Amino acid sequence: MSKFIQYFKGSSERIIELQNGDGSIPWFKNGVFDAWNHLECLMALNVLGYSDEVEFGFSFLRENQLEDGSWLGELGSTLEIDEKSGKFISREDNSKVFYRDTNFAAYIATACWHDFLVNESIEDLNKNWKMIDSAVNFVLSNQLENGSIRWAAESPEAPKDDSLLTGCCSITKSLICAINCASKLGISKPDWRKSLERLQSSIINNPESFDKTWESKKRFSMDWYYPVLCGVMNDEESKIRISDNWNTFVIEELGCLCVSDQPWVTIAETAELAITLTKIGEKDKAMELLSWIENCKDKDGAYWMGKQYVENVFWPSEKPGWTSAAVILAYDAINNFSKGSEIFLKDKLI
């Protein structure tokens, strides 16, 4: 474990460097914030034993949760990039657009269940329970008749009544974790279980539930591997799904593409795919995949967000904390360094 901590010293320092004075962890200094990527960073820090920083991050969420159970967040995927520097262009305060994203809110349950697995603290789980309960109720208030969950609460900024496959898969995992948190505290949540069943059925049986009002997201690699990563599919279906689309999304010796039609390998997607491979029993392949992205580790020990391999440049020229966090979680999943290493490998309700 000590070698693991030392190996990721630069990665963890990058995440801690980004943590603001209020406990939040943005994508980059003075950059966008969303709860999902903030929580991904907390999970990685938890694996490495940074308990103070983890609690600071959870306290930020407890103090800033809205009355409906959500958190305001920006969509980093819509950020503009300076063509010369390769850096994200920070938005002025008056041009920021905030959403109440359901997947971002649900992820608190995954992070809190992971925290319990790592530290085995009922006290901390109790401390965060009200936050989990409120967030999950917010998420399920946005469940549609077809069983899928609206990508964000309705607002002028999010008027379209539509769902994302990747987001709903992630919510599936979070609901499993939320129900397990409740069970560990002796709380029964039958309505959550019913909502989970409806959501899983929608993903498996009704693909038309997703991308109804916008262009299909099938070109995104996350739509490919997230149903497997998040425990929606059985073992046989999972192996077939990964095998059938491997050549579409994986560039040998480089990693996993963000989208199938762009020469851009992204490190977080590659790390998540490595966890997915481990989940379906292909640990050697997962380790090989992670070995490919070691040349995307900067001299300071943090990972670049991605690489445009035709032009042979890191793109964008950014090292978000959540990128390094995803790699840390992947190494933990493969090597079983922490008690939380199976967070994405097992999906059973307790």
pLDDT of residue 160: 82
Q: Which two tokens stand for residue 28?
A: 């980059």
User: How high is the pLDDT of residue 244?
Assistant: 98
Contact 25, 15 (CB under 8 A): yes
- Whether the CB-CB separation of 213 and 160 falls below 8 Å is answered with yes
DSSP codes, 28-91:
STT----HHHHHHHHHHHHHTT-HHHHHHHHHHHHHH--TTS---B--GGG--B-TTT-PBPPP
pTM of the model: 0.98
Distance, in Å, from the CA atom of 223 to the CA atom of 207, rounded to the nearest integer, reads 11
Confidence (pLDDT) at 2? 86
Can you give the pLDDT at residue 159? 84
Low-confidence ranges of the chain (pLDDT < 70): none
Calculate what percentage of the chain has a pLDDT beyond 70.
100
Structure tokens at 239: 């192996």
Laid out side by side, the sheet with 264-266 consists of: 264-266, 306-308, 313-314
What's the pLDDT tens digit per position in 204-223? 999 999 999 999 999 999 99
Identify residue 197 by its one-letter amino acid code: E
Q: How many CB atoms lie within 10 A of CB 43?
A: 26
212-267 pLDDT tens trace: 999 999 999 999 999 999 999 999 999 999 999 999 999 999 999 999 999 999 99
pLDDT at 188: 98
> Do 100 and 66 touch, CB atoms closer than 8 A?
yes
Give me the pLDDT at residue 288, please.
Answer: 99
**Parallel, antiparallel, or unpaired for β 255-256 and 250-251?**
antiparallel
Q: What are the residue ranges spanned by the domains of the chain?
A: 2-335
At residue 78, the pLDDT reads 87
**H or E element, residue 248:** helix 246-249
Q: What CATH fold (topology level) applies to the domain 2-335?
A: Glycosyltransferase (1.50.10)
Report yes or no: 146 and 139 within 8 Å, Cβ to Cβ: no
